[in-house]
Structure formats: C-alpha cells, structure tokens
Chain A
Amino acid sequence: MDGRALRVKAARRREGMVETRTPLGMLADIIIHAALVVVTLCCVVPVWHVMMASLSDGRRMLEVEGALMLPAGIKPNFAGYRLVFSNMAILKGYANTLLYVAAGPMFGMALNITAGYALSRESRLRVPLTLVTLFTTMFSGGLVPSYMVIHSLGWVGTRWALMIPGCTNAFFILLMMNAFKGVPQSSVEAARIDGAGHARAMLKVMLPQCVNLTTVVILNSVVLQWNSWFPASIYVTSSRDKWPLQLWIRQMVADNETALQMSSPDYNRLLIQYAVIVAATLPILAAFPFFQKRFEKGLLLGGVKE
C-alpha cells in the first residue's frame, strides 16, 4: 500500500503535477476534456458524414440537413460503390494515381538520397551546391515559364509531366542532407576504412540509421503526389485516360450538378461523389497507423533537433 502511494506520488512529481485536486481544478479538467472532445469531433464528423452519405439512399440524401450519423435510408446502399467500381474511367484514375504515387516519389527519393548524401559529405563543392539547391526555394520562374519548359520537352499530355517535375524539392533534399549529417561519423568512417565505397556507405551504413527522417520525406512526397491534381489539370487536361483520381473527384461533382438539373435524375449517381471521396481518402488513412510511430519520430528530428 505504502509502496504504491509512493509510486503514484513519484509519477505525479515527474509530471510536474503536485497540487491536490480542488473543485476548481476538477472544473478546469472537465472543460479541457470537453474542449478536446469537441475538437476531435470537428475532425471526425466531416469524414464520417461522407462515409455515411456514401452508403445512403440517393433520393433521401437530397433532403438531408446537417451531418449524418448513420446512413440515410432503411438499409445501407452500396450502389455508389458499385457505380464507382464499375466505372472504367474512375478505376483508370485509381490505377493512374497508384502509378504516380509509386513512380514520382521513387524518382524523388533517388534524387533526395544521392543529393542529400553528396551534400552531407565534405568536399570543395559542398557549399556552392547547397546554395544551388537552396536558391530554388526562394525564387521560381512561375507558372507560364514552367509550362513552357514542359511544353518544349514534349511532355504536355504525357504522364512524365505529372511524375517528374514535382517529384522532389529543395526542402526534401535538405531534409535528407540533415538526416545523413545526423548519422554518427564514426560508423561511416569505420565502414570506409573497412573498404566500403561511397555507395555502400550511403545505402548500407547510413540509410538504415536515418529511417525515421527518411519515412517523413517518403511520406510527404507520397501524400503530395496522392493529393496532386493541379499539374494534371493543366498538363493532361484533355487526355482523361491519364487523369489521377483527384481530378475525377472534381469531375464527378461537376457532372452531378448537371445531372441534378435533368428531369428524372438517377439518384444513385449522386452517391458517386461520396463514394469516390471515400475511395480516395480511406487508403491513406488506413495505411497511416503502420508508419505513424516512425513518422512522428522523424517529424520531431526534423523539427526540434537542438
């Protein structure tokens, strides 16, 4: 009994909480928890609403006010998903997004790792090359000149325009540079003395030691690519077979607005817009718990390294 009380006291000391509970303190606790519950609900409700709407009766959806807690309609209606997954255009968009999400960050990481490594090692050109990288964060040519470069490469209307130009940026490269710099130099030197070349030292010795920051960079570029729609909207405007999923979301909504103005609309079609949003969001949210720990750790390494 005594031991337990001591442990509890010690734990509370660690937390910096030494005062005894007062009614006012309890009230503050209640307010804090209530506020956090409200904030959490704000984050969950919109996503939940869309998930429930995607399972609703299309006709009833038109009359729904506010946010749904349960699907509107007598029983869950999967017509929206059936329409999404039987729509070849959307499936193609899904496949395109998967391709872009795999290829873009892969090109990007190849550049981030090689350049990050090159900039983390001592050499005469290290500082000038770092500045060359850094300058691109400050000044950009803008929309029209960038479009013209892609145009003169002959990439307008091709998938390259969606995968290569946005595959990396100076922040990612510098983040990888910092990651490599954070690896204890002794282990690198030991490997070099044992006869490992640059390539081996980089991939076999250093990279495994900066998994967390690498996760952050990979994840950021994956999310960037998964969410990207603007380049597609200007570079492959008319070739719909190359559209990523995000662009189809926009299209579905626009289609629905016109469909609603017809005399006898197909109410199930209205559900496509919800179903496609769920299909475009759920995979990344579902995958998240698997890399959450590394991601948070890496984020802190990048952010609060003192």
Chain B
Amino acid sequence: MYAQRAEPMRSARSPARLPWKKDIKRNGFLYLLYAPTLCYLVIFHYIPMFGVAIAFEDFNIRRGVFGSRWIGFDNFIDLFTGETFGLVMRNTVGMALLNLTIGFIAPILLALVLCEVRNKRFKRITQTITYMPFFVSTMVVCQLARFFLAREGGVTLLLSALGLPKQNWLANPNLPVFWLINCFTDIWQGTGYGSIVYVAAISAVNGDLHEAAAIDGAGRFRRIVSITIPSIKPMIIMMLTLRVGTVFMSGFDKILLLYMPRTYDVADVISTYTYRMAFGSSINYGLSAASGLFQSLVATALLLLSNAMNRRLTAYSLF
C-alpha cells in the first residue's frame, strides 16, 4: 500500500461561515465538480452498504433484498457455529500476524542495510531492482510461486539442500507452510517498495548526530541502534498503525489463486470464505453477506483502533 496521510482534520482552519445562499453562489461550482464523485461513491459504495441487509435474510435472488424473508441473526449463528469458522479465524489471524511482524520488519531492515552502502550507484541500482517486483501482478507472482515451489522448482531445490523433503510445497497441508508462502510472496512483492519511505527518512537523519557519536567511539551498529532507529521511530509507528488497519483486507486475491481444496484448512481466510459462499459450488448468499459484514466490522474496528493509537503515539492521524 502506498503511504498516505491526510492533513489532520482538527487543525484545519475553521472557515469563515458564509450564509448558505452566498456559499452556494461562491462555491457552487466546487459542488458541481464534486457531484460526479458523489454519484460514484453513492452507487458503488453507499448503496452496497444497504445490501448488508441480506445478512439478516433468508435471501432469495428472485425475491430480491426487499422481498426475502427476514430471519434476524440466524446467518450469524450459522457462521459462528459452522465447523470451518474456527479454522478460518485461526488462518486469518495467523497470516495477519505474520504480515504484521516479518512482513513489516523486512522493508525497515532493507532500508537500514541500504543506507549503510556508501557507493551511491550501487545503492541506487539495488533500490530500483528491489522495488521492481511491486509492478509484477499478483497473478504473475502466484505463477512464479507455483513454478518455484513445485517439485522441481528452485525454492524446493534450495530447501532440499537444507534437508527438507522434495515436494510440491503449495500442496502441503501442514500448518505453517502455506502461511509462510503467503508471507514470503508478500515480502517479495512489497519489501523494496515499502523501503522507499524508510530510506528517505533515514537519509534525512541529521549527519551531525552520527558524527558526534562516531567521535565518541560509537561503532556503526551502535549508531544504527541508538541514532537511526530512534530517529525514524515516528515513521515506523505510523506505518505500523496504517498496516494494522488494513491487515485483514489484504491478501485476498493471492490466497484465492494459491489455495486448493487440499490446503483449504490452512489457507481459508474470511474473505475467501465469503467469496466461496457467494460464487463457489455451495452457494449461500446470506452466509456470505454475514461473513462479509463481520469482516467489514472487524476491519472498521481495527482501523479506528489503529487511528486512535496513531493519534496518541505520533500526533498524526488519518482522520
């Protein structure tokens, strides 16, 4: 995800309040400019929000949202008591945590190492190449994963040199395998891209600090730990909170492409479960909408939580 930060709303200067008539006269054109976007948002974002009503219905596509029978929370009871729900939750949380730890630290590490390189040209080339994979599509990344994790693939070969049995790793239904595959394909695709902002932040650290520390006898490693990392801490915290907010939404299409019936038990997450209930072989729209709503609520809660965290820790907030 790209880094983005809206200006904090609270500090915006309060507008000189014009009476409505004058405001419309002066700013009417602005509202006209916003109108198409408003239509877009209403049609493709706000109207579907009313569709969550399906989650409380015994939905029948011929009767529509308003004609179907209202059954209250039955879909949710089915969802939470279903035999796969526990597994799905475990997988969702497990993969999210891996992404929040390994996946989060990787770009910072890369940036720290990159900034230790004195040869400008080497640094530049390395940086450019490492963020190229960001432009490789998810579909292709999944294909690459298939090639390299197959029985004769490069990664399988490397792993077998370490003593692990040769196999098609993607078909391995044991626990951490799929999770790690998911995590490492993410890392492959996003580490270089994610490190760009950290490299910029590290380059902006005051050189005098390093110089003073070096004169006092601090080695390179010591300076990284005591100067560089504390200096970029606000940025790390901001990126972390941004990531917490979106962690459950990510990875959907990759998992959809990489998992197979054999690995459903370790790979199924809420979003893929929602998808299969709506477009899979055993269709249950009500259940799908219920799990979609559940996911949306969790994501919203996380986003609000992370934003509150952000506000407290760094004085910046998304909203």
B319 adjacent to chain A (CB < 8 Å):
yes
A115 adjacent to chain B (CB < 8 Å):
yes
Flag if B38 contacts A132 (CB, 8 Å).
yes
Q: Is the interface of B mostly helix, strand, loop or mixed?
A: helix
> Within 8 Å CB of A15, what residues of B?
118, 207
B177 adjacent to chain A (CB < 8 Å):
no
Q: Which residue of B lies closest to A111 (CB)?
A: B37
Given the contacts A14-B207, A138-B304, A303 and B2 also touching, CB distance less than 8 Å: yes
Smallest beta-carbon distance B31→chain A, Å: 6
B128 adjacent to chain A (CB < 8 Å):
yes
> Within 8 Å CB of A45, what residues of B?
154
- What is the interface residue range for chain B against chain A? 35 or more
B136 adjacent to chain A (CB < 8 Å):
yes
Given the contacts A16-B210, A139-B296, A165 and B37 also touching, CB distance less than 8 Å: no
Q: Which of A74-82, A87-95, A226-234, A260-268 contacts B (4 or more CB under 8 A)?
A: A226-234
Q: Which of B17-25, B79-87, B88-96, B168-176 contacts A (4 or more CB under 8 A)?
A: B17-25
Flag if B38 contacts A130 (CB, 8 Å).
no
Which among B52, B137, B192 has the greatest number of chain A C-beta atoms within 10 A?
B137
> Within 8 Å CB of A16, what residues of B?
207-211, 214
> Within 8 Å CB of A190, what residues of B?
none
B78 adjacent to chain A (CB < 8 Å):
no
Flag if B36 contacts A143 (CB, 8 Å).
no
A140 adjacent to chain B (CB < 8 Å):
yes
Flag if B292 contacts A13 (CB, 8 Å).
no
Flag if B214 contacts A198 (CB, 8 Å).
no
B129 adjacent to chain A (CB < 8 Å):
yes
Q: Which of B129, B130, B256 contacts A230 (CB 8 A)?
A: B256
Q: Size of chain A's interface in residues, with CB distance under 8 A? A: 106
Smallest beta-carbon distance B220→chain A, Å: 6
Q: Which of B6, B15, B188, B279 contacts A126 (CB 8 A)?
A: B15
> Within 8 Å CB of A127, what residues of B?
9, 12
> Within 8 Å CB of A125, what residues of B?
23, 27, 31, 34
Flag if B116 contacts A32 (CB, 8 Å).
yes
Flag if A227 contacts B138 (CB, 8 Å).
yes
Flag if B65 contacts A148 (CB, 8 Å).
yes
Flag if A65 contacts B253 (CB, 8 Å).
no
> Within 8 Å CB of A85, what residues of B?
none
> Within 8 Å CB of B102, what residues of A?
none
Q: Which of A53, A121, A145, A230 contacts B30 (CB 8 A)?
A: A121
Q: Could you list some 30 contacts between A and B, CB below 8 A?
A: A19-B214, A28-B221, A36-B122, A43-B192, A44-B129, A49-B148, A50-B147, A64-B152, A66-B157, A114-B33, A114-B37, A115-B33, A115-B37, A123-B23, A124-B18, A125-B34, A138-B303, A140-B48, A146-B48, A149-B51, A165-B44, A174-B4, A229-B139, A249-B139, A273-B143, A281-B140, A288-B135, A299-B196, A303-B200, A304-B204
**Interface set of A (CB-CB < 8 Å, partner B):** 13-19, 25, 28, 32-33, 35-36, 39-40, 42-47, 49-50, 53, 64-67, 110-111, 114-115, 117-119, 121-127, 129-134, 136-149, 153, 164-165, 167-168, 170-171, 173-175, 177-178, 181, 197-199, 202, 216, 220, 223, 226-227, 229-230, 234, 246, 249-250, 253, 273, 277, 280-281, 284-285, 288, 292, 296, 299-300, 302-305
**Interface set of B (CB-CB < 8 Å, partner A):** 2-7, 9, 12, 15, 17-18, 20, 23, 26-27, 29-31, 33-34, 36-38, 40-41, 43-52, 54, 65, 110, 113-114, 116-118, 122, 125-126, 128-130, 132-140, 143-144, 146-148, 152-154, 157, 188, 192, 196-197, 200-201, 204, 207-211, 214-215, 219-221, 235, 253, 256-257, 274-275, 278-279, 285, 288-289, 292-293, 295-296, 299-300, 303-304, 319
Closest 5 CB pairs of A and B: A145-B51, A142-B292, A141-B48, A16-B210, A303-B3
